[in-house]
Structure 1
Amino acid sequence: MNKDLEKIENLTSSECGIEFTLSIMGGKWKPLILWFLAKKGIKRYGEIKRFIPSVTNKMLSQQLKELVTDELIHRKDYKVIPPKVEYSITEKGKTLVPVLDFMCSWGYEHENKKK
């Protein structure tokens, strides 16, 4: 057995990293925001809102702020009138893309089996 795999299999719940990962990118909207920015590139607030129409403005703003704070996305604020802000995924955020792609594929496959 691979030593790294053996080490991972013997971790406690607080050591395995899942809890930390979920605290950073978990929730209903953060994975969708990250996935959208990873796949579609730089986007403005309204474009993100149109991609996730069921999210409230308050929740979307909050989730974007948290993702910026956690350095998973970058917020570029242009000093113009009317205000212009763009969001993009960071290098750190891109490291989550394989996880997000797997979640997307898994959900697509299993949701369609349910119907």
Structure 2
Amino acid sequence: MSETIDPCPISPVVDLVFSRWTTPILWVLREHGRQRFNQVQRRLPAITSKVLTQRLRQLERDGLISRTHYPEIPPRVEYEITELGRSLSPVFAALTAWSDAHLSEVAAARRRYADSP
């Protein structure tokens, strides 16, 4: 029986961190600190409540955010990035730097591609 080796060792991290809406949610919580559900949703107006709920649960399950429930009336729930989630900051910084340096080149390549026969 042969062992299957993943040809790309970062695939699990890419699946974890860069699925749709995960990065924007982490970014919001990193930039703005502890947030209630509605605050996160206001900062990401294109996300639906259902998808935001799903992503927040996944991020909590994976240890990237924490959820704190306050037994008040009305109930209050807040979300905050964890130290594990915060440890992705250098990754986000590297991607921001790459984006600043190269997105114009990507846009130019796309224009050349669209104009080619």
Equivalent-residue separation in structure 2 for 1:58 and 1:114 (angstroms): 33
1:31 maps to what in 2?
23
- Determine whether 1:86 maps to 2:105: no
Q: Secondary structure at the match of 1:38?
A: helix
Deviates more, 1:21-30 or 1:81-90: 21-30
SS in 2 for 1:77: strand
Equivalent position to 1:100, from 92, 102, 113: 92
Instruction: Tell which has more relative contact order, 1 or 2 (C-alpha 8 A, sep 6+).
Output: 1
* Number of equivalenced pairs: 104
Larger Rg: 2
Root mean square deviation, CA, Å: 2.4
After TM superposition, the score normalised by the length of structure 2 is 0.76
Residue of structure 2 aligned with 1:21, choices 13, 16, 39: 13
Unaligned stretches of 5+ residues in structure 2: 109-117
1:23 alignment partner AA = D
Match of 1:64 in 2: 56
**Aligned counterpart, 1:42:** 34
Match in the other structure for 1:53: 45
Q: Report the secondary structure of 1:88's partner residue.
A: strand
Deviation per CA, 1:38-85: give whole Å up to 9, x if none.
111111111110111001110000000000000000000111121211
SS at match of 1:17: coil
SS at 2:80 equivalent: strand
Tell me the residue number matched to 2:111: none
Name the CA distance, whole Å, in 2 between partners of 1:44 and 1:105. 30
Identity across matched positions, percent: 35
Gaps of 5+ in 1: 1-12
